[in-house]
Structure 1
């Protein structure tokens, strides 16, 4: 069978660990921190170091098995771009690796240090700097809760946001991809990011990049520089409400979901689950047992049309409640894996897309033991080099985890069916943007101190 990741992650982790600072370098670095930050904004406390060295990689049984027990040596919390630059300058002077961190809500080990060193916790740098017509400019540590509130105060809203709304803008840009609003507005690299201020190692003046020049810094885990501030897209504010419906079969739920995707104005979210997956969630009268669940966050002006789409495809409207908008976001995207594994810790997940998810779901499920499908509406392209292909569904395939061979044999079968699979069980960067990421990383981080071990080794000649 085809091996999933070359070289193996354990080997990559071992190689990265060689970048760990020696005792003398680390001691000198800590001693010099007093000239950079007040003493209450950096720590070598064991508990703080461990807490800042974890994210949601435990959702993957493969990652959980190979992530090293090598927490950060120091955690620092800068509040300004100048303080961030001073930290990076000091780290470069002493050869200390640097891992940038938001809220640690990523799922791939993005914020897990593989060589110890310094974790830069950016949550203190949380100011909203300016709001304009169609954009908002904020420090990297600003949360989406704060961003949305600031945008709403001007009659606007964030064009696209993660299902974990407590995440920071910097963390999302460095480690995320899409979320609520992706049906209409696409992905991170689809014009959502207007500008970034990025610091390398060693830092010079903050590097201001705009438009397409932002792409190498998105979903790059900080290897191309630490995002200090970001300017991202806003759209006119809408009045949203939550709709929950149920269906007797998958085909009917999918047909109704497709109709919802093309409402005007577009929904912010459309999600579908089959009954076996619904059974892993806490009981909810609006998700009756034994039925397929469709959930949507729709513009209030389209509620009647949405309800007609549900009933027209044989479904039943279970609830229409504005108060449930936030709740429905926690039943979307990879939040589903988090919820399902609380009930079924034997589960693992794959990120999947493609027509077979809706056209031949039984064949898709047959690829892995006990497989269950979750779908989210989105702009159906994942490659920034591809043109938009309209609105459709991608999602998750959750299955029993037996061993890596079973999982990756299932991946081969899925790809043979025409399913697009993104492997969530690796921390290595990849995809069509990888050459540009490598180029940017070598320019801003010539000594390889930014999040070492996250770029795959260069292929052999």
Structure 2
């Protein structure tokens, strides 16, 4: 769409030269890590909540879409301006406003990088638990928008579990304050948790008060290698049933193990059919006890080897297999569809088994790995995007993966969110009455439907 001259004038008055109109500049904000692309009509770079309020009100008056954006690391197309309009990039709202160690709280603007926040908290002996793979260059606002998790979520929770309060701007340009900067609160509806994971469809987060956790003084890792996926899944169930909660519990299927060994050079036996990376953190004095408990739980039918990293160098060597996996995937095919699904832990074998059957049926390699303690697996379907038949088979197979996860009592996403990639499957994952309630909530926050249209909720 062509933006009205009056709107451009209002944006210029509010933001000065922090409005990008040149096509070459707008192109940098046209895509995210999903590889989807759509050119916005303008890009706004606000530096304050007041500017966000003014631009949302201006866009509402002209019925122009507003698409919030962090750093574009999202994999579902949630940051792609498919309806045009104005992308609101929060890259200049990147201040850490407060760190209050006594309250275990940090107050930040949405454009703060997760990695920069962690570095600022380290001298205080604290950290913010969400640790997605993109932590070094993803923003706190983006993490909150899709409820990012990461390996530590098994013990510490995802973004939604680690936010205390939010200040946000609704689709009407109203500023709302949700939650409280205390670890307990029972005053009305839990709106801050509603906004986390809403992908910018309800409101634009302009400030977040985050729940912090004391940094552990020590970490130790175990690597458990199993004959097959079923043996590894039974071990996951045992690990999660005993009192010591691992700080990480990562899974790799047989295909992933083979790639890590043959391509990545990881030291793994050829008969390995699945692998668990188990980590514990805490005080050095009790860590040995915790590791012993995790060893006992990991031991059972189908265990081929159990390796213990007694020091940091050994811990890094054990993690080498997992780190070797991502680059090894590219040897299978030039293209990849990487979607996360989540199922009850007890049903991981059925999920992986079903995915292996799909791989045979579509004649394309599919590799599963991810956060076993939450039942949250990343399904990586490898194909050649230049081959139209492969692309069609890949798309159909991923649809079947979503259907399989739902049949197993799971759902479409554990941490990547819905965006565009999974939007059309929401009718399968959510019953009609609940979906209607979601639409009604959307209409209250954003009555004109200008906030990130085309995402999360199906048409």
Scaled by the length of structure 1, the TM-score of the pair is 0.75
Q: Identify the residue that residue 283 of structure 1 maps to in structure 2.
A: 264
1:205-220 paired onto structure 2 within 5 Å: 206-210=175-179, 212-220=190-198
Contact 1:175 1:220 in 2 (8 A): yes
1:266 to 221, 233, 245: 245
Describe the shift of the 1:188–1:308 C-alpha distance in structure 2 as closer, same or farther (beyond 3 A): same
Equivalent residue number for residue 210 of structure 2: 232
Residue equivalent to 2:115: 145
Equivalent positions of 1:240-251 (< 5 A) are: 240-251=219-230
2:200 paired residue number: 222
CA–CA distance in 1 between the matches of 2:233 and 2:435? Answer: 34
TM-aligned CA deviation for residue 197 of structure 1: 0.3
Any conservation in 2 of the 1:109–1:427 contact (CA below 8 Å)? no
Matches within 5 A, 1:69-88: 70-88=38-56
Stretch of structure 1 that moved more, 151-160 or 343-352: 343-352
SS at match of 1:34: helix
Structure 2 residue 366 is the aligned partner of structure 1 residue 365: no
**Alignment partner for residue 186 of structure 1, among 137, 157, 164?**
157
> What is the CA distance between 1:437 and its match in structure 2?
4.4
Question: Which structure 2 segments of 5+ residues have no match?
Answer: 180-184, 383-389
State how far apart, in whole Å, the 2-side matches of 1:353 and 1:375 are.
12
Partner of 2:378: 396
Q: Does 1:348 align with 2:337?
A: yes
Q: Partners in 2 of 1:260 and 1:325 — Cα distance?
A: 22
For 1:327 and 1:357, locate their aligned partners in 2 and report how far apart those are by CA, in whole Å.
23
1:45-84 matches, within 5 Å, as 45-58=22-35, 64=36, 70-84=38-52
C-alpha distance in structure 1 between counterparts of 2:178 and 2:257, whole Å: 43
Q: Distance in 2 between matches of 1:330 and 1:151?
A: 30
Q: How many angstroms apart in 2 are the aligned matches of 1:218 and 1:326? A: 36
Distance 1:152 1:263 in 2: 30
Give the equivalent residue in structure 2 for 1:253. 232
* Separation in structure 1 between the aligned mates of residue 355 and residue 112 of structure 2, nearest angstrom: 39
* Alpha-carbon separation, structure 2, partners of 1:182 and 1:136: 19
Of 75, 84, 87 in structure 2, the residue corresponding to residue 116 of structure 1 is: 84
Shift of 1:53: 1.9
Please give the per-residue CA displacement for 1:327-353, whole angstroms capped at 9, x wherever unaligned: 969959xx9789735743455355141
Distance apart, 1:99 and its partner CA: 0.4
Q: In structure 2, how many angstroms separate the alpha carbons of the residues matched to 1:288 and 1:49?
A: 50
TM-score by length of 2: 0.75
CA contact (8 A) 1:287 1:293 kept: no
C-alpha spacing 1:260/1:414, structure 2 compared with 1 (3 Å): closer
C-alpha RMSD of matched pairs (Å): 3.6
User: Would you say the 8 A contact 1:44–1:75 is kept in 2?
Assistant: yes
Q: 1:102 aligns with which of 70, 87, 90?
A: 70
Segments of structure 1 that go 5 or more residues without pairing to the other structure are: 1-19, 59-63, 380-392
